[in-house]
Amino acid sequence: MPEVIRFKGLELRFLHDKEDTEGGLDMFEMTVEPNARMPVPHHHESWDETVYGLKGVMTFVVDGKTVQLRPGESLFIKRGVVHAFRNETQGLASCLSVLTPGVLGPGYFREMAALLSDGAPDTAKLKETMLRHGLVPAPPA
């Protein structure tokens, strides 16, 4: 049964991870609630990300360019490229994310869910967790 992780307007359903693919890829379905967003623009040090739209419309900002991802469309985000996403609509949006190679796994998301479950999260701990897992927060604009 796939592992499901929920936090702050996001639900991730892991279908494959670095453990069961011998580092080949991580794959998860992500559902984003209305008006939810990835809180911190960031880039990945060690993997590329391909996103395929399943439902609704998600807004990605990739390398400063805004892209609307709709069902049946895909987006490739090369490692090192700053990106963020949000759902600006009043409906649920979902996508399939594939990270190659598989080096992240669900552990990062479990840790973030735990950190974000307490009222006001400790931003230093959030940043440390991101960096330890290979996600680099972008400097403020």
Q: Which CATH number fits domain 3-134: 2.60.40.1220, 2.60.40.10, 2.40.10.10, 2.60.120.10?
A: 2.60.120.10
Closest alpha carbon to 47 in 17, 86, 13: 17
Question: According to the model, what pLDDT value does residue 122 have?
Answer: 86
Question: According to the model, what pLDDT value does residue 2 have?
Answer: 81
Counting as low any pLDDT under 50, the low residues of the chain are none
Q: Give the global pTM.
A: 0.92
Question: According to the model, what pLDDT value does residue 72 have?
Answer: 98
Question: According to the model, what pLDDT value does residue 63 have?
Answer: 95
Question: According to the model, what pLDDT value does residue 99 have?
Answer: 98
Could you state, in order of their start, the residue ranges of all structural domains in the chain? 3-134
DSSP 8-state assignment for residue 63: T
Sequence-ordered list of residues with C-beta below 8 angstroms from that of 18, at least 6 positions apart, any chain: 24, 25, 26, 101, 102, 103, 104, 105
Question: According to the model, what pLDDT value does residue 1 have?
Answer: 60
Q: 9-31 burial by CB neighbour count: b if 16+ within 10 A, else e?
A: bbbbbbbbbbeeeeeebbbbbbb
